[in-house]
Structure 1
């Protein structure tokens, strides 16, 4: 178990600044420099080794569109006031109400490796996620534990096939909070994130470009989607690596 710690004053100010638009608009975008400051306050170390683990993911064989452009690993955690605890490996499930492409079945993905599951970089991100979810949820509605899922995603683009970060299109995940942390973009163009309100009116857009650029989404209030990525140089490998963290009431 990893116990929660309090961030330094500058990091605390950054978090509060991010929570303003999250409260008002249902989403927030935190640039890499600010995100690094926050995560270092929570003990971030070894980012390069953490990011390198995206080179060892398994092919997602559950893609109903037949695509083989997505690689991933998956793990679940419990986040409480007492700290962070990894749960036994389990399948990922979304109802077809939220994922019309791949929902409705239990999907078993390769587990996040033990060295990554307790890595200081991941622990820092989970501490931040717990802080934001706690701050943004009224006390009477806060669960005793947040069921937390993490997904290591690599979306590969080829000259003849775009890579689709959100193949299900504009969607909600059926959770309470979603954090998307950029890990690496290699030789890809596009990949713009768009945010839409519950009436499907676009209310924001941005592109995660630098490692640690981060989007935070209130999944109860907005939809999100990402445009396909394409190779810049067709003769070189092209991919988009992100960490997705979701929290919901247990």
Structure 2
């Protein structure tokens, strides 16, 4: 569980081609900065918000290892519009463990969303979705996660390998602290190919064409006995046509 598989990094100039050809792309931190046009210090200014995440009260496995916040946006062209706080919803076909219910997570804080880099992140994934699917209004959900080793193990994806039911998924790694595990795995939804690798560099990212790829992250464990470890990520999902659940009245 301690092995670290090197990510298959892509140049930011080849990011769209990688999504089109293989369904995913991985950017190192320099690639993320170049893609977004954001300096390192602006991204680092977002990080203190991860020390202010309340527990996820919806974990069906009874775990206390996940802390998170959630926010939603509508992006049309270059206009980023926050929408009123709403529940996160996934059908059971996309999340067999937690699907089918409205989950009301704590909202994102102004300490995060007022940072200059924040709208640049949202616009970056929306522009990528437009390049992949064609320009249109996009409905973006933002999830700030901390998975820790409370109880000895933390599960970044307790639902297992899954799709999110959106167009594009972006997973940004902010920090790994005193952990082993946390390997990213991506698989073709309709084919035999897959890859495994471990994101370790702060502000590296995995980008996915969610219609084509299934993904998961393996559990984490403490690197040293008696020391709490954690893994911080930002997950942005981009969907055309509305938020998941809108057409079901949720």
TM-score of the alignment, normalized to the shorter chain, above 0.5: yes
- Equivalent pairs, count: 232
Task: Report deviation, 1:197.
Answer: 0.9
Structure 1 match to 2:76: 80
Q: Distance in 2 between matches of 1:19 and 1:82?
A: 19
Q: Distance in 2 between matches of 1:60 and 1:204?
A: 29
State which of 216, 219, 244 in structure 2 corresponds to 1:225: 216
State which of 143, 153, 160 in structure 2 corresponds to 1:151: 143
Q: Is the 8 A contact 1:182 1:210 kept in 2?
A: yes
Residue by residue over 1:95-129, the C-alpha shift from the partner in whole angstroms, topping out at 9 and shown as x without a partner, is 11110111111000000002312322222211211
Task: Report deviation, 1:203.
Answer: 1.9
Q: Distance in 1 between matches of 2:217 and 2:232?
A: 13
Consecutive unaligned residues in structure 1, runs of 5 or more: 1-12
Structure 1 match to 2:239: 248
Residue by residue over 1:213-247, the C-alpha shift from the partner in whole angstroms, topping out at 9 and shown as x without a partner, is 10000110010011101110122220000000000
Structure 2 match to 1:106: 102
Task: Report deviation, 1:43.
Answer: 6.7
Q: Is the 8 A contact 1:43 1:124 kept in 2?
A: no
Residue by residue over 1:60-94, the C-alpha shift from the partner in whole angstroms, topping out at 9 and shown as x without a partner, is 01011111110000000011114111111000000
Structure 2 match to 1:235: 226
State which of 165, 169, 191 in structure 2 corresponds to 1:174: 165
Structure 2 match to 1:7: none
State which of 36, 54, 59 in structure 1 corresponds to 2:55: 59
State which of 178, 183, 191 in structure 2 corresponds to 1:187: 178
Q: Distance in 2 between matches of 1:22 and 1:83?
A: 24
Structure 1 residue 208 corresponds to structure 2 residue 229: no
Question: Matched residue of 1:208: which SS?
Answer: coil
Larger CA deviation: 118-127 vs 22-31? 118-127
Q: Is the 8 A contact 2:49 2:111 kept in 1?
A: no
State which of 25, 28, 34 in structure 1 corresponds to 2:25: 28
Structure 2 match to 1:6: none
TM-score by length of 2: 0.88
What is the root-mean-square deviation in Å for CA atoms of aligned residues? 1.7
State which of 153, 156, 162 in structure 1 corresponds to 2:153: 162
Q: Distance in 2 between matches of 1:200 and 1:118?
A: 42
Task: Report deviation, 1:18.
Answer: 1.3
